[in-house]
Structure 1
């Protein structure tokens, strides 16, 4: 998916697309410019994204469709933010309305013409009212502002520089693509840096062993560990730890598996009993079964919450709403932010993961 802002084109034809995309196997939609002002263009691979619907305004372009490979229905919204506060408020209101119509995970991208932190504009020591409006809109929409890993600013003009180009995604998007990351491309002759979003996770080598707190809530866990440990005999301690990863993995897959599926199964059984009671079927056996199901379901709720608390490593879990999507988002953001995508070595910016690992090890 390629989004271009400020095309300054009143007309885009099928002959223009291959010159930009490289071939004619692409879908596209555009918003015409007002003279030499503005203009938006979205281009996508027809085999990768199947469009179902499109809507547009003066400063935004929305395409709904399916990411075929992932069977994921979503919307891409290209934005060119206004300059005046009143006009910005109109744009935010229009985008809120469009998202309400779409009712699918969304990815906003483009030039928003607004900052979120004072650090995002050189020489600024306070946020303008329009920035507070933008922050409130992001909060109300429940979207996440993805960080850029390799640069501080995206727009330059003389001594002025700001981060006004960004990508915002819904929580559902991050749940599907938790490793979505941003980095900037070369600016060239433009005063904006292109923003590149990637969702593919690179291999980082073997992951360290980690036990999960939720395992200890299962009645079979310690017994299984003792039996497997005895079965490894008199091997070295570190070798036994390494050999335990196989049995632990199999046990986890068998006993825990898909946490959401297990919880859903208990909830469905509880609903069946509630429906039966609603139809007048109720006795001691029914009540006992319902209590047993509720007890089991509560255990799996606790295990799921423990899992995401540990993964998120949040220090504020006691003071916030116990919402597993929140912890899921924190865990994903932590994984994205902790990754070293580039390293400045002797004045040169190195992006090769193999080279970065060697330099860190040698240091």
Structure 2
């Protein structure tokens, strides 16, 4: 299940909804955690615009005036909610992920700025994690950094960083290596890495190769974070043979040269596989070259036909010009016929 975390800095802008919806669709996100909604009541907000098409569920924590506010959205076909816990600075949605044994806990966090309040929040989160087994994902804006290098042109508080690191260690949380941007928040020339996604040891062991990426800032001064545990890469695309290739004059030579080129060694079955592999590569290269060649030929023929049509508007064509026009039309028809044959075959696959 892929997870998105974003400090949106207010839900009111409709362009932000379009942006978040695009991120969700593009990265195939099934659970979203949004911080700093800045809304006490979501009655006036069309939450569905942030999700897009398909069923979704959501829960939220009201902001304190124009400060804070949390919103979590998820796909009920992927994540089945069993319980919700709401605190002033965090929103815990517990449930089960389809195809994953055991409980899953999704904790959405927006930490306060005050050091004492943060200390109390770290204790609350530690108690929540200590009281629940299963997989934990803790994401949000923590308003704290772990190392001095995570701040630029801004004050680094050593004691706050130590308390933050102690909380992470005591809660048995882990952070994947961040890809993309190094700093997740920027204000003028001040940069910080305060937005994060942590997981517990059980999660880390289940998906050790999960991808953790900071995306580009667009409608917020915070970078969206995406934790990808689901891979949609099914390997190389299957090789598809188009019947129209048999109508090309040079296709037979490509096949013959690929098979009879030599250089194959091993048992007969290994040699056969090597020949198929070489044949596939050579046909793919030939098909790309053929496509580019026919595209260029089509453009020249259309230009030539257009010029002759313009001449025909003012005078009769000569015999040579008439033959050229008919030849151009015939060649264009043949190219279009090949293209239509490919489209017809695709539609039946």
Q: Please report the TM-score for the alignment, with normalisation by the length of structure 1.
A: 0.54
**Is the 1:118–1:124 contact (alpha carbons within 8 Å) kept by the matching residues of 2?**
no
Alignment of 1:149 with 2:179, yes or no, is: yes
> CA 1:125 to 1:204, structure 2 compared with 1: closer, same or farther past 3 Å?
farther
Contact 1:63-1:75 within 8 A present in 2 as well: yes
Deviations 1:81-131 (A, max 9, x none): 111211110000110111122222211000011101111111469652111
- Answer whether contact 2:93 2:106 (CA < 8 A) is retained: yes
Q: 2:201 aligns with which of 161, 168, 171?
A: 171
Higher Rg: 2
Counterpart residue number, 1:105: 135
**Preserved contact between residue 154 and residue 190 of structure 2 (Cα < 8 Å):** no
- CA shift for structure 1 position 180: 1.5
Judge which range, 123-132 or 5-14, deviates more: 123-132
The corresponding residue for 1:48 is 78
**How far has the Cα of 1:188 moved from its partner?**
1.1
Q: How far apart in 2 are the matches of 1:150 and 1:191? A: 15
Counterpart of 1:149 in 2: which secondary structure? strand
Matched, 1:129 2:159: yes
Higher RCO structure, 1 or 2 (CA under 8 Å, sep 6+): 2
Q: Distance in 1 between matches of 2:150 and 2:75?
A: 33
Q: Structure 1 residue 69 and structure 2 residue 99: aligned? A: yes
Cα distance in 1 for residues equivalent to 2:107 and 2:266? 52
Change (3 A) 1:124 1:72: same
Structure 1 range deviating more: 80-89 or 68-77: 68-77
1:20 is matched with 50
Q: Please give the secondary structure, in 2, of the residue aligned with 1:70.
A: coil
Q: Is the 8 A contact 1:61 1:77 kept in 2?
A: yes
Q: Which runs of 5+ in 2 are unaligned?
A: 1-30, 237-264, 271-349
- Distance in 1 of aligned mates of 2:98 and 2:216: 30
- SS state at 2:180 partner: coil
Pairing 1:36–2:66 present: yes
Q: 1:82 aligns with which of 112, 120, 144?
A: 112
Counterpart of 1:339 in structure 2 is none
Matching residue of 2:39: 9
Deviations 1:214-236 (A, max 9, x none): xxxxxxxxxxxxxxxxxxxxxxx
Is the alpha carbon distance of 1:38 and 1:124 closer, same or farther for their aligned partners in structure 2, counting shifts above 3 Å? Answer: closer
* Shift of residue 181, structure 1, vs aligned partner: 1.6
TM-score calculated relative to the size of structure 2:
0.56
Change (3 A) 1:56 1:125: closer
Partner secondary structure for residue 92 of structure 1: helix
CA contact (8 A) 1:8 1:37 kept: yes
Output one character per residue of 1:206-259: Cα deviation in whole Å (capped at 9) or x when no partner. Answer: 9xxxxxxxxxxxxxxxxxxxxxxxxxxxxxxx989xx9xxxxxxxxxxxxxxxx
In 1, the alpha carbon distance for the partners of 2:81 and 2:142 equals 24
Matches of 1:167 and 1:112 in 2, distance apart? 10
Distance change (3 Å), C-alpha of 1:89 and 1:195 = same
Count residues in correspondence: 210
Unaligned runs of 5+ in 1: 207-237, 244-363
Greater CA deviation, 24-33 or 35-44? 24-33
Q: Does the CA contact (< 8 Å) of 1:17 and 1:24 recur in 2?
A: no
Other structure's SS at 2:202 match: helix
Distance, in Å, in 1 between the alignment partners of 2:154 and 2:234 is: 38
Shift of 1:66: 0.1
SS at match of 2:223: coil
